[in-house]
């Protein structure tokens, strides 16, 4: 049966991931999809076809897979639930020049970009995005819909809960086996931050060392 592999979203990250997808599956139909209300005037970008999500669902006699390239974790979570309701496979994409070592578990829908390293004894949830040159070190747990922008450094014994966005160049200090550093659900770590302690749920932190973003912290 012929295969159609779709990336949901044709923005910057989607356009960066498409060459990886084409390299992995050169004989398949590889396309961009978005919902009808977000369809552009043009029918393609970078010579790759763009169709509506609704038309994608109606493609007959094809094995259909989709990967979400939307960076926002909350939006990615909602899209994931919609896709699952249609019983479409959320495909993981692993660049050929990424490095995955021992005892690493990764759930569906991940995007592992070039030069990403996942070391050992790591558990990663659904729809993980690891952009260029990021790494996750030993004994880490990463939740669902977590985004690593380029060059994020997550050192060992760290727990990252669901729907966390970590900006470019951020570093998370190594925790301890009996006292891991915990990054709470729905939190944001700003670009260039150095996280040295736990981050509370639904909190934005920035700086070196990272502190909570507030009016007083900006003075």
Tell me the pLDDT tens digit for each residue of 59-76: 999 899 999 999 999 999
Mean per-residue pLDDT over the chain, rounded: 96
Give the pLDDT mean for 1-20: 96
pLDDT of residue 153: 98
In DSSP terms, 104 is beta-bridged to 122
Query: Which residue is catalytic, options 35, 62, 129, 138?
Result: 138
Residue 215 lies inside a defined structural domain of this protein: no
Residues 115 and 170 in one domain: yes
126 and 60, same domain (yes or no): no
| Residue 35 is a catalytic residue | no
CATH number at 29 reads: 3.40.50.20
Does 42 map to a domain? yes
Domain extent, residue 27, equals: 3-69
Q: What does the pLDDT average to over 5-27?
A: 98
Phi/psi for 145 (5° steps) reads 60, 35
Q: Do 100 and 64 fall within a single domain? A: no
- Asked whether the predicted pLDDT for residue 219 surpasses 90, the reply is no
* Banded model confidence at residue 91, pLDDT cuts 50, 70, 90: very high
Give CA–CA dist 73/198, Å, rounded: 20
Determine how β-strand 63-68 pairs with β-strand 99-100: unpaired
Map residue 8 onto helix, strand or coil: strand
Residue 82 lies in a domain: no
The pTM of this model reads 0.95
Mean pLDDT value across residues 7-32: 98
pLDDT score at 216: 58
**Sign of the C-alpha dihedral computed for residues 112, 116, 119 and 124 taken in this order:** negative
Q: What is the pLDDT of residues 152-207, one digit of tens each?
A: 999 999 999 999 999 999 999 999 999 999 999 999 999 999 999 999 999 999 99
Average pLDDT score over residue span 132-147: 98
What is the tally of structural domains in the chain?
2
Q: What is the pLDDT of residue 166?
A: 98
Whether 87 shows a pLDDT value over 90: the answer reads yes
């Amino acid at each position: 049966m012929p295969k159609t592999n779709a990336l949901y979203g044709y923005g910057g990250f989607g356009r960066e991931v498409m060459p990886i997808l084409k390299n992995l599956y050169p004989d398949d139909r590889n396309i961009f999809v978005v919902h009808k209300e977000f369809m552009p005037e043009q029918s393609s970008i970078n010579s790759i076809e763009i169709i509506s999500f609704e038309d994608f669902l109606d493609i007959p006699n094809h094995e259909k897979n989709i990967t979400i390239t939307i960076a926002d974790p909350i939006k990615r979570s909602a899209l994931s639930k919609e896709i699952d309701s249609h019983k479409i496979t959320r495909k993981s994409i692993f660049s050929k020049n990424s490095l995955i070592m021992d005892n690493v578990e990764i759930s569906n829908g991940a995007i592992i970009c070039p030069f990403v390293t996942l070391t050992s004894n790591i558990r990663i949830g659904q729809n993980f995005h690891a952009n260029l040159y990021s790494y996750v070190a030993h004994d880490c747990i990463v939740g669902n819909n977590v985004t690593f922008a380029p060059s994020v450094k997550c050192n060992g014994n760290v727990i990252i809960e669901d729907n966390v966005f970590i900006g470019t160049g951020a570093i998370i200090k190594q925790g301890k086996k009996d006292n891991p550093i915990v990054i709470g659900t729905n939190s944001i770590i700003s670009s260039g931050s150095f996280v040295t302690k736990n981050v509370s749920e639904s909190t934005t932190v920035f700086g070196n060392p990272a502190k909570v973003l507030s009016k007083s912290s900006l003075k």
